[in-house]
């Protein structure tokens, strides 16, 4: 299983430290690729102030694998919009339709074929 911690503090994602502590353990959450054949190459968030950079830039999450992510922003909102990017046959990225979730309530984010859900 692929597990890597994202340590980029320059994300444009916003989640308060107090709120982020409600996600998993101390702001951590796990991203799962629940597809059968698609490779995850992009994970983006938007709290209403614009899209973040790609959280997993340079990494690939194979089908059935997962990756750990962490919020570092000092303040912000629990309500986030997520979009997943998948590797296309020609090497390009195909972005799924964005889906809103409450990151403060999420410990696990599951990415399926054009769907995102969490618990």
pLDDT score for 106: 78
Q: Judge whether 2 and 30 are in contact, CB under 8 Å.
A: no
pLDDT score for 34: 95
What tens digit of pLDDT does each residue of 38-72 get?
999 998 988 888 998 998 888 999 999 999 887 66
CA distance 63 to 31: 12
Q: How confident is the model at residue 26 (pLDDT cuts 50, 70, 90)?
A: low
End-to-end CA gap in the chain: 20
């Amino acid at each position: 299983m692929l597990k890597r911690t994202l340590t980029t503090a320059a994300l444009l994602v916003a989640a308060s430290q107090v709120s982020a502590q409600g996600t998993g353990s101390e702001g951590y959450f796990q991203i799962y690729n629940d597809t059968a054949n698609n490779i995850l190459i992009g994970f983006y968030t938007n709290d209403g102030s614009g899209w973040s950079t790609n959280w997993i830039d340079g990494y690939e999450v194979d089908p059935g694998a997962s990756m750990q992510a962490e919020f570092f922003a000092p303040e912000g909102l629990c309500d986030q919009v997520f979009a997943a990017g998948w590797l296309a046959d020609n090497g390009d990225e195909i972005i799924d339709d964005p889906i809103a979730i409450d990151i403060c309530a999420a410990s696990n984010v599951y990415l399926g074929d054009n769907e995102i859900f969490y618990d």
